[in-house]
Structure 1
Amino acid sequence: MADKALIEKAKKIFENFLIKQGSRKTPERFSVIDELYSLPEDEHIDVEGLFLKMRNKGYTISRATIYNTLDLLVESGLAVKHQFKDKVALYEQALTYKHHDHHVCNQCRKIREFSDPKINQIKDMIGKEFQSEITSHSLVLYGDCQIPHCENLTVI
């Protein structure tokens, strides 16, 4: 179930961002927030998936509006965009985002999130070696999961 307080907080942040940018505050843009923030926290969705989900709920919204709104949400810090291997861009909500890395199955394309403190230790070590403060990183591991018939599972 969606956290209504979280959705309202995201909408307020987005409204302030749009005002600062001098952009229009349209109902369609805010409906994208409703749908993105109604997904489970660890779910990733592409534009087409979001478009179909919204159309099935009766929204009249174009793919272009969804693309443009997601770009604005990324710019405002309310969404994170991922590009996994040969897949289209996937988005996830960012307001409660805790850094994590990903494992993507080569067969079923299922995306699993994980965190490991050893990765941060490596990041710190590399930062020291290169005399650089590492401010972010992205790690995606690709492999073949061991789930029976994983190639027949639904692709995200």
Structure 2
Amino acid sequence: MAEKSIIEKAKKIFENYLVRQGSRKTPERFSVIDELYALPQDEHIDVEGLFLRMRNNGYSISRATIYNTLDLLVECGLAVKHQFKDKVALYEQALTYKHHDHYVCNQCRKILEFSDERINLIKEEMGNAFSSHITSHSLVLYGDCQIRNCENLPVH
């Protein structure tokens, strides 16, 4: 869960973004920030999961509002959207985001985050090879974990 100051900072960034875009500042939009940033920092959630979480926490909000708000949060840099293989889009908070890559189990669909400095070295080498300054990358590894009955585990 993000610190209260991080959530307040995210809300301020979002408010400024909405003002610049000429968009409405509704309580529902800001409640999406509250719930997204209440998740553990390494958790990924889809719209349906966020919708159920918000309903369970007493919010009256539509899926459409969640979809639209998440799109806005991605646009202003407060959320990161991932599309892993055949899964629906998953989101994670981005304000304190440190770049990482992902491993996804083919069976249980568990998502693990990892960082490895060697990937940055490859990124640098490829940038040199292409005469380019590579600014970002995305790496997702898919495999079959060795956890017994992993397909019965809850998905992250």
Same fold? TM cut 0.5: yes
Q: For residues 2 and 92 of structure 1, what CA distance do their matches in structure 2 show? A: 12
The question of whether the paired residues in 1 share the 8 Å contact of 2:2 and 2:41 is answered with no
Residue 37 of structure 1 aligns to a residue in which SS?
helix
Match of 1:58 in 2: 58
The question of whether the paired residues in 1 share the 8 Å contact of 2:81 and 2:89 is answered with yes
The question of whether the paired residues in 1 share the 8 Å contact of 2:103 and 2:141 is answered with yes
Q: For residues 50 and 139 of structure 2, what CA distance do their matches in structure 1 show? A: 25
Deviation digits for residues 90-146 of structure 1 (CA, Å, limit 9, x no counterpart): 000000000000000000000000000000000000000010110110000000111
Match of 1:133 in 2: 133
Q: For residues 43 and 33 of structure 2, what CA distance do their matches in structure 1 show? A: 14
Q: For residues 110 and 15 of structure 2, what CA distance do their matches in structure 1 show? A: 34
Residue 99 of structure 2 aligns to a residue in which SS?
coil
- Deviation of 1:34 (Å): 0.1
Q: For residues 38 and 151 of structure 1, what CA distance do their matches in structure 2 show? A: 27
Q: Gaps spanning 5+ residues in structure 2: where? A: none
* Residue type of the alignment partner of 2:119: I
Deviation digits for residues 71-100 of structure 1 (CA, Å, limit 9, x no counterpart): 000000000000000000000000000000
Match of 1:5 in 2: 5
Deviation digits for residues 19-42 of structure 1 (CA, Å, limit 9, x no counterpart): 000000000000000000000000
RMSD over aligned CA atoms reads 0.7
Q: For residues 2 and 82 of structure 2, what CA distance do their matches in structure 1 show? A: 22
- Deviation of 1:2 (Å): 4.0
Q: For residues 3 and 38 of structure 2, what CA distance do their matches in structure 1 show? A: 7
Match of 1:120 in 2: 120
* Residue type of the alignment partner of 2:11: K
Between the two proteins, what is the percent identity of the paired residues? 82
How many residues are matched? 156
Q: Gaps spanning 5+ residues in structure 1: where? A: none
- What TM-score do the two structures reach when normalised by structure 1? 0.98
* Residue type of the alignment partner of 1:155: V
